[in-house]
Structure 1
Amino acid sequence: MSGLQNPGYLNVLCKNKSVKCWEELYKVVCDKTTMSFAESEELKLTLQAQSQILGWFVIVAMALLSLLTTCCASCQSKISHLQMKFWRIYIEKEKEQLEQIFQLYAAKLSERNLKSFFENKEPEAFPMPTFQAWEDASQLYSFNSSEQHYSTIHRLVEDGQKDIREERETMLDFVDGREIP
């Protein structure tokens, strides 16, 4: 501890205390000191208070640094406040509607599969996005002011889903490395 090597700091801590304070200060926290209980407790409380003050100082400094960084980033951004607000609302609405569509399609697909199973019939065709489309839609997206897309799905819809000439089903990868199409 650098504070225990600082004579000025030791003078403040051990002021009006016994000589043992100088010699056994490092033992106080572990209760291994031979100082009186009152003197030891007083030193412990002083050290605890100082560490809490230092901890709060670090927390406040980090919060201020975070606030300053956020403010600087906002000021330097080419995206306007209103555009950012629209983007946030769009993302929230897209998430809500995506959840509803997932529920609807999952219900329809499970109904089709159960009906096919119990009636021993071939399942009806069911339009679903390709594996590649799912992969493309699952990519992370960050706002780009030059493209004017507000999400990955928005970008896919506007730019058109990639033409996949050869649709491949998900393949099983066996332990020996062979793939079964």
Structure 2
Amino acid sequence: MKTSESDELKRTLQAQSQMLGWCVIVTTALLSLLTTCCASCQSKVSHLQLKFWKVYAEKEKEQMEEIFQLYATKLSERNLKCFFENKAPDAIPLPAFQAWEDASQLYSFSSSKQHYSTIHKLVEEGQKETNEERETMLDFVDRKEIP
């Protein structure tokens, strides 16, 4: 092939590949938009209720972080004080292991029971009672249960 024919072929293939790439991008964007629209139209949750749900989830997350900071600070202060003063610790009320497990589950919105999060569901329906007399503890290093 001559250099001019080779360059012409190279430019043609490059233009075709760019056109194909743009077609794939536009098709993907349109399918994504169509899927989102169909999902919104068939949703059993209204737009305003979904907006409220998102605001609620964000506020719950912010307040949960604040409570985590507060209780973690209290617990660490208590433990360090007891360690250095060589005395028994005072009780700090914390959720049981099962409550942590229940609160950590993934929650999806149900139109029959309008709870906006797993925490909301646990508070409204009450926490599950466990038959175990002992509290399960986890060793955070190797993730094994300790009796």
Shared topology, TM-score over 0.5? yes
Structure ID, larger Rg: 1
Equivalence for 1:94: 60
**Whole-Å separation in 2 of the counterparts to 1:61 and 1:145:** 33
**1:51 and 2:13 are equivalent in the alignment:** no
Match of 1:83 in 2: 49
Q: Which amino acid aligns with 2:136?
A: E
**Does residue 117 of structure 2 align to residue 159 of structure 1?**
no
Distance change >3 Å, CA 137–CA 61, structure 1 → 2: same
Aligned residues: 143
Does structure 1 residue 103 correspond to structure 2 residue 69? yes
CA distance in 1, matches of 2:146, 2:108: 36
Moved more, 157-166 or 98-107: 157-166
1:68 maps to 2:40? no
Q: Indicate the residue corresponding to 1:168 in structure 2.
A: 135
- Higher RCO (CA 8 Å, separation ≥ 6 residues): 2
Post-superposition Cα deviations, 1:20-68, rounded to whole Å, max 9, x if no partner, equal xxxxxxxxxxxxxxx2222212211211111111111011111111111
CA RMSD, aligned part only? 1.8
Q: List alignment gaps of at least 5 residues for structure 2.
A: 140-144
Identity in percent: 74
Q: Distance in 1 between matches of 2:146 and 2:76?
A: 26
Partner of 1:143: 109
Residue pair 2:103, 2:118 contacting (<8 A) in 1 also: yes
Distance in 2 separating the partners of 1:66 and 1:81: 19
Mapped pair 1:119 → 2:78: no
State TM-score, norm by structure 2. Answer: 0.90
Stretch deviating more after TM superposition (161-170 or 93-102): 161-170
Instruction: Show the counterpart of 2:142.
Output: none
Q: Is the 8 Å Cα contact of residues 136 and 146 (structure 2) preserved in structure 1?
A: no
Deviation of 1:92 (Å): 0.4
When the two structures are superposed, what TM-score results if normalisation uses the length of structure 1? Answer: 0.74
